[in-house]
Amino acid sequence: MVPTSMLDMSTSAEIETRGISSEPRATPRTRPGIAKRNKRSSQHADLRARFSQLDPDLRTVLVVDRLAEGIQTRLSEGEDGARLAEITVAPCPGADPVPVLVMGTRPADKAFWLAELEDVVCAAALRGERQMEIDQQDRDILGFFALAVPVGRVSHPETQVLLDAVQQVVSGLALDLQAHFGVDRPGRLRPDLMTGGNVPAQGSFPGHHAAVSFALASVLDSFYPDADGAALRDIAQRIAQNRCHAGLHFPVDTIAGALLGEVVAEALLARLGLAICRDGRRIEAWTGGTINRLGTAMTDLGWQNTRDPLLEMIAADVMRETRGTGQRVV
C-alpha cells in the first residue's frame, strides 16, 4: 500500500508541471528508508557488475559457500547401535547453533523392513511406464519443475544459478547422512530385485532425490508469485516415488528425504532474506520405531539483521526474473 504522503507528493508535482500551482516547491527530503534502499541498490549494481563477469559455475560455487554458511551436521552413534544426525543452523557468525532437524535409526527391525521391501516390490510393477522418467531424473531433477513454472538457463539465468546452488547444498547434506546411516539398498535385502536405474554406492536413507526435489519445490514456490505450490510438491513427490519404483529406495527414505529438503530449504530461504509462513508445527514421522524423530520446523532465526550482500543481490535478481515479491523478512 502506497503511503498517503507519497500520493500527495506525486499529485502536487503533477499540478505544478501543468502550471496550475504558483506555490514555491519545497526542497525534497530523502527519507532514511529510501536513502538506505538507494545505497543498497548502488552496492548491488557494483557487486552485480563484478559477479556477472565470473563463469556461471564459479558463481554457483560462491553462492553455495554463502548459503551453506552456518549449516552444520552433527553425527553420532549410540552404544546400542543407534545412529543420530542433528542439523543445526547458526543465524550469524558466533551465534549458538539452533537444531532444526533430528533424525536417527536403530538396529534393524526385521518386520518393519520386510514390510518396506514388500512396498518396493509392489511399486516395481509400475516401473515400465515410468522408466523414461527414472532415467531422465538420474541426470536432471530441476527440468521436471518446468512443467509448473517457467525456468531455464537462457530465460532465467540468475534463478538457475540459485537453484543449482540449492541443489548442491541439499545434495551434500543428503549424501553425508546416507554415508552416516549406512542403510542398505532394497537390492541388498532381496538380490533378485531388478533395479531400474544406476545403483548408488552410498546408503539409501534419507532419499537424495526426495531431499533435492522437495527443497527445489519450496524455493520455487517462494519466488514464483503465480506458482501452484501443490503442483510443485506433486512433482517432487513423483520424483521421489520414482526411486521406489526403480527399486532404489524404501518408502521411509522418501519420507525422511522430503522432510530434510523442506527444512533445509527454509534455512536457505532465511539466508536469502525470505521466510516461509509456518505455524511452529512439529514435523514428526514415526515408522515402526526405525526413525526416532524428525525434528521441528525452523522458526525465525534472526537473519533479517545479518543479510549477506551477495545473497541479498541474488534474491533481488531472482525476484526480478520471476516477477515475484517473495515474503520478505522485515
- Residue 134: which domain range? 40-322
**In-domain check, residue 196:** yes
Q: What is the pTM of this model?
A: 0.78
**In-domain check, residue 22:** no
**In-domain check, residue 330:** no
**In-domain check, residue 5:** no
pLDDT of residue 325: 44
**In-domain check, residue 317:** yes
pLDDT of residue 7: 28
State the burial class of residue 290 (Cβ atoms within 10 Å of its Cβ: 0-12, 13-18, 19+). buried
- Give pLDDT tens digits for 82-128: 888 999 888 666 678 888 888 888 776 778 888 899 999 888 888 88
Domain count for the chain: 1
pLDDT of residue 42: 63
**In-domain check, residue 9:** no
Strand order in the sheet with 83-89: 71-77, 83-89, 98-105
pLDDT of residue 112: 85
Q: How far is CA 230 from CA 46, 169, 317, 325, in A?
A: 38, 24, 25, 19
The parts of the chain modelled with pLDDT lower than 70 are: 1-44, 91-94, 108, 196-197, 275-307, 324-330
Residue appearing with cell numbers 500500500: 1
**In-domain check, residue 10:** no
The CATH number given to whatever domain includes residue 246 is 1.20.144.10
**In-domain check, residue 25:** no
For residue 123 the three cell numbers come to 511399486
